[in-house]
Amino acid sequence: MPVAFDRVYVQSAGYFMPGEAVTNEDMDRYIAPLNRISGRIKQRILAENGIRQRYYAIDEAGNTRWTNAAQAAHAIGDCLRRQDRPLADVTMLACGSSGGDVLMPGFANMIQGELAAPPMETLSVHGICAAGVAAIQAAAQGIELGAHQRALAVASEMPSRLFKRSRFSSRAYDADFDAHFLRWMLSDGAGALLLGNSGEALPGPSSGVRLRLKWIHQRAFSGDYPVCMQLGLPAEGGQGHLDYASWTEAEEAGALSLRQNIRLLPHLFDIGIHEYVALVRDGWVHPDRVDHFLCHYSSEKFMPIVADLMEKAGLAIPRERWFSNLAWRGNTGAASILIMLAEFLETHTLEPGQQVFCYIPESGRFMTAYMLFEAEAVGAPSSVAVAAATPAASDATAPVVASVHSEDADTLAPPHDPDLAPQGLRPLLVELASIWHAYRSRVWRTAVVRRLREGRFTSADYLQWMENWIPQVREGSKWMREGAASLSGPYLALADLIGLHASEEQNDFQILFEDYRNAGGTISDIESLRRNPGGEALNAYLHALAGTPNPIGLLGAIYIIEGTGQRIVPALLPLLKASLHLPPDRFRFLEYHGHNDQNHLARWLMAVEMALDVDDRGTAERQIVDTARRTAALYLMQFHHVMESE
């Protein structure tokens, strides 16, 4: 849930861009390509990212002209000058960055020292793009709680020192693509916000207007995904830079190169737009009320992806309301959103009632952050905290996002894209997709999946998993047949369809049992296999529900179970193969379901349409949604009990 604010205002914003603008043609004077391969990477990246110029705090020889702390101090100075406010009026300094000039002490303390600032509260937030938002939130919370009347939030980045030619010279021909990629993406700069508890008029063109911070929402998904952007690990992962015998060895191993795994990026957008949909659904933001959308994206290549996903979700913000300075300020990481907001306020005129919505994804290990500001007339009564902070109930159901069109992203998306739903099914698929996202995220963090992701999975683990799973798969066709038998009257056609599905599933467990035996399983009698507590609870629930009259809710259970086969299994199968190096006849069940559950889910969609045509639509939809939610909880319990000792 977002953190809401009632008495926090942006009193001023400033920024600092070091040196002269560096065009694409001039980049070679600072971070030239190392060879022909590097040059081709440069051309490709610059053609896609849309950046035409950027700024570096180093000179052409690679010498530092402004330290990172100096950049932050200049941004703070610019911010305070715009409001003619002395530094002595500020009692808190919160800083966000991917790294300062030294490993210790904290970056905020180094900035305070650079400013020769008086004693104050300081906070250093270490992260990547969302670190600037975290600094803003910390400063805002200090004001909201009454601890401070004014606080500064600043973010500053200086990646150019990582990219200069001298740091690549010893391994110029060995640097991999992931290490080259960010050299042409990131640049230097700093931004600062002065927050206060009084709504003073903004400096610049918005005379007579104050800007209130309404809320901030941050959410990290680091437990769900591997590292995407990092500094400190070699390309293949493993030990960190401090674990090497010397800095020289760490450098030679590539552990001091900034890398991004661009193959993981589609997942970041899926997460970000899903969170946006949830904010709309819960009434925190209304797209039709957003007058200005400040979206931090690292490349213009991603701009149409974000726009397309919002459009598919039915929650698009018109492109004419978007503001980005990526093309002429570059991608400055954590500082980007502060520089963007400062330049926006410098160049745009706000009217009372207008809203400014900010979206900041972070690819490090996947975070997403949002902020909402609203312009008010200076002197207008302050909003009542409770009324301002409590989201209104939304009459419209917010549709969920379709996945980015890539094979990797498909493993994370809900089983059905609501945007492609037959007429009338979209609201139901939206609710089910919300349940799916929460379920998928929790499954991804269970001990069995975590061990798979970390490359620690053994053949014994695989056997244990199948021993827990086979009895649950065996029961599937049974409760489906029971449910079909409980359908009567106008549901007979639906009963036939479910019966057909049960027949196809009837002997699937035998394939899984043969995989188990081929992989070395020692239990020869399938009757000796017992469901774990989660599987026991799941099947008891489904059998009991199948025995009730016209159990339409079972369609919600099939959505989760078949969706697991279609979405989660394909993501786990490559990890299993990489960890175990077993022959193909050990994975036949997983291969089969990864390919065939798509057909099963198409049949499921047909069954849902038949059920809704017969029954009271609202009642049937509620039964399906409620059963899906309960099935997800119980199926998750089964995953947990596979390796409950961890």
- For residue range 94-141, list pLDDT tens digits in order: 999 999 999 999 999 999 999 999 999 999 999 999 999 999 999 999
Range of weakest confidence among 207-216, 510-519, 630-639: 510-519
Q: Are 385 and 451 in the same domain?
A: no
Please give the pLDDT value at position 416: 75
**Is the pLDDT higher at 469 or at 217?**
217
Pairing verdict, β 290-295 and 322-323:
parallel
pLDDT band for position 251 (cuts 50, 70, 90): confident
Tokens of 224: 């769900």
Enumerate the H helices of 426-532 as residue ranges. 426-443, 447-453, 459-485, 492-505, 508-518
Please give the pLDDT value at position 497: 85
User: Does residue 232 fall inside a structural domain?
Assistant: no
Contact 313, 168 (CB under 8 A): no
Residue 51 to residue 27: CA distance in whole angstroms: 12
User: Does residue 500 fall inside a structural domain?
Assistant: yes
Asked if the bond preceding 105 is cis, omega within 30° of 0, the reply is yes
Query: Residues with Cβ < 8 Å from 148, sequence gap 6 or more?
Result: 91, 92, 121, 139, 142, 197
User: Does residue 420 fall inside a structural domain?
Assistant: no
Residue span of the structural domain in which 584 resides: 427-642
Tokens 């244990």 label which residue? Answer: 464
Which H helix or E strand runs over 196? strand 189-196
Residue at which a domain ends, from 389, 407, 438: 389
> Does residue 395 carry a pLDDT above 60?
no
Please give the pLDDT value at position 615: 66
Please give the pLDDT value at position 588: 83
Question: Mean per-residue pLDDT for 139-162?
Answer: 97
User: Does residue 235 fall inside a structural domain?
Assistant: no
Residue 335 to residue 339: CA distance in whole angstroms: 6
Please give the pLDDT value at position 599: 65
Q: At 217, give phi and psi (nearest 5°).
A: -130, 125
> Does residue 409 carry a pLDDT above 60?
no
Tally of domains within the chain: 2
- pLDDT tens for each residue of 451-461: 887 788 899 99
Degrees, nearest 5: CA angle 134-138-139: 120
Cβ neighbours around 469 below 10 Å, total:
21
Q: Are 177 and 289 in the same domain?
A: yes
Amino acid at position 443, single letter: V
Please give the pLDDT value at position 477: 83
Residue 25 to residue 54: CA distance in whole angstroms: 11
User: Does residue 255 fall inside a structural domain?
Assistant: no
Please give the pLDDT value at position 178: 78
Residue 98 to residue 125: CA distance in whole angstroms: 8
Question: Mean per-residue pLDDT for 503-528?
Answer: 84
Range of weakest confidence among 472-476, 486-490, 613-617: 613-617
Tokens 């996002």 label which residue? Answer: 401
Residue at which a domain ends, from 389, 413, 442: 389
pLDDT band for position 396 (cuts 50, 70, 90): very low
**CA-based nearest residue to 532, from 451, 464, 590, 479:** 464
The pTM assigned to this predicted structure is 0.72
Q: Are 355 and 456 in the same domain?
A: no
**Is the pLDDT higher at 558 or at 154?**
154
Residue 471 to residue 469: CA distance in whole angstroms: 6
Please give the pLDDT value at position 63: 96
> Does residue 404 carry a pLDDT above 50?
no
- pLDDT tens for each residue of 283-340: 899 999 999 999 998 888 878 878 877 876 678 899 999 999 999 999 999 999 999 9
Amino acid at position 469, single letter: W
Q: Are 526 and 611 in the same domain?
A: yes
pLDDT band for position 13 (cuts 50, 70, 90): very high
Amino acid at position 68, single letter: N
> Does residue 172 carry a pLDDT above 80?
no
Contact 279, 217 (CB under 8 A): yes
**Is the pLDDT higher at 258 or at 337?**
337
**Is the pLDDT higher at 195 or at 260?**
195
Please give the pLDDT value at position 392: 41
Contact 642, 465 (CB under 8 A): yes
Contact 291, 297 (CB under 8 A): no
The 3-state DSSP composition of the chain as helix, strand, coil percent (nearest 5) reads 50, 15, 35
Residue 50 to residue 529: CA distance in whole angstroms: 58
Please give the pLDDT value at position 391: 45
Please give the pLDDT value at position 97: 98
Please give the pLDDT value at position 412: 59
Q: What does the mean pLDDT of the chain come to? A: 86
Torsion of CA 399, 402, 408, 414, to 10 degrees: 40
Cα separations in angstroms, 476 against 93, 554, 557 = 58, 11, 10
Q: What is the DSSP letter of 483?
A: H
User: Does residue 139 fall inside a structural domain?
Assistant: yes
**CATH code assigned at 80:** 3.40.47.10
The size of the chain, in residues, is: 646
Q: Are 532 and 479 in the same domain?
A: yes
Range of weakest confidence among 120-129, 184-193, 523-532: 523-532
Range of weakest confidence among 16-30, 81-95, 165-179, 612-626: 165-179
Tokens of 252: 């030679």
Q: At 332, give phi and psi (nearest 5°).
A: -110, 30
> Does residue 388 carry a pLDDT above 70?
no
Q: Are 447 and 313 in the same domain?
A: no
**Is the pLDDT higher at 493 or at 546?**
546
Range of weakest confidence among 180-189, 209-218, 389-398, 615-624: 389-398
Pairing verdict, β 22-23 and 9-16:
unpaired
Residue 121 to residue 141: CA distance in whole angstroms: 13
Please give the pLDDT value at position 298: 82
Please give the pLDDT value at position 11: 97
**CATH code assigned at 542:** 1.20.910.10
Q: Are 453 and 542 in the same domain?
A: yes
